[in-house]
Structures are given as C-alpha cells and as structure tokens.
Amino acid sequence: MSKIGKLPIKLPPQVTVQIDGSKVVVTGSGGTLERHLPAEIAAEVKDGWLFVTAKKASPLTSALHGTTRALLSNMVTGVSGGWKKTLELVGAGYKVETNGQELTLNIGFSRPVKFKAPEGISFKVEKSLITIEGRDKEAVGQMAATIRAIRPPEPYKGKGIRYQDEVVRRKAGKVAKATGTV
C-alpha cells in the first residue's frame, strides 16, 4: 500500500468535492477542476476529509494510489489558493511585456516571441520577472517549461530564461583552459 496514498486530504471550508463514479469534481473560490480516477482507485469524502483508497493490492495499484492522491491534493490546493511559477530573464537587452492575455518576449531573436495564455492561466510581468498563475498545477508548470525552453540558460554567461530559484552551473571558457587556471 502506498505511504502517500494513505494520507487523507484536508478540505478547506470553501472547497467542495463531488464524486460521481470515477469522475471527481473539485470546486472552490478559484474555480472548478475535474479528473477521472483510474479503475483501481476509489475516493470518498467524510467529515471534511478526502480519502483515496486502492481497490486491490498490486505494485501498479500502489503507484496509482499515491499519484492519484497527490493529483487530488494539488486540485484542492489549486481551487483554494492557486499555483504560481516565476521565471526570470537574464541577459542584456532581454525584455518581456504583457498585453492582456498575451506575453511578448524580446530575447535576442530576429522577431519577438509571443504566447497566448490558455484558459485558466494568467501572466504578470515586473521588470525581468514573469509570474505564471493558475488553478491547475500541471498547466502552470507546463506553460513555465514551454517559455523556459525557448531560451534556456546557457552555461558560459548564464544568459537565458530560468526559474527564479534555479541555480545555473557555470563552465569556464576556452581562455581559462588555455592559461591553465582551471
């Protein structure tokens, strides 16, 4: 049995969970999220707690049990408080601006790169910081990864788009190797 799957999920007062067969709908002040449960997993709500149980014991079911519990917990957190990721632009002349639900990046290419925010995702820009917010953790993380993938940080000067708390390992260039300082 999964250690994570056994943990119950505390439901905040403003969050409601409706279970209809394999479909789970979580509703809160931030909106509504829904997910279908695997056939081997069941969920139930009792006294303000959400319990996830495995219908049988097997290695696959144990993995699904923990994963499903984590996904449902992320849904509860998303509709009550939301999720956010912050990216930072590092590089001379790199700029970012937002126009409604569209993000425009000027990051050294011949043309600006534009992103339209999917439903449930919003962008906020402060100087060289991009904050991506939404209720679905998976969608927020995927949007952040997609934006970062356009110009990931390079190892010599550290220029590019990185997560705010990301540490970029730097390499010594050719000049340092030639002089023997490395």
Domains in the chain, CATH or no CATH each: 9-80 (3.90.930.12), 83-163 (3.90.930.12)
- Greater confidence (21 vs 176) lies with 21
pLDDT, tens only, 25-42: 999 998 999 999 999 999
Residue 180 vs residue 46, higher pLDDT: 46
Q: How many residues does the chain have?
A: 182
Q: Residue 178: is its pLDDT beyond 70? A: no
Task: Please answer whether residues 182 and 176 qualify as being in contact, where contact means their C-beta atoms are separated by less than 8 angstroms.
Answer: yes
pLDDT computed for residue 177 by the predictor: 61
* pTM for this prediction: 0.86
pLDDT digits (tens, 9 = 90+) for 111-160: 999 999 999 999 999 989 999 999 999 999 999 999 999 999 999 988 99
Write down the pLDDT at residue 126. 93
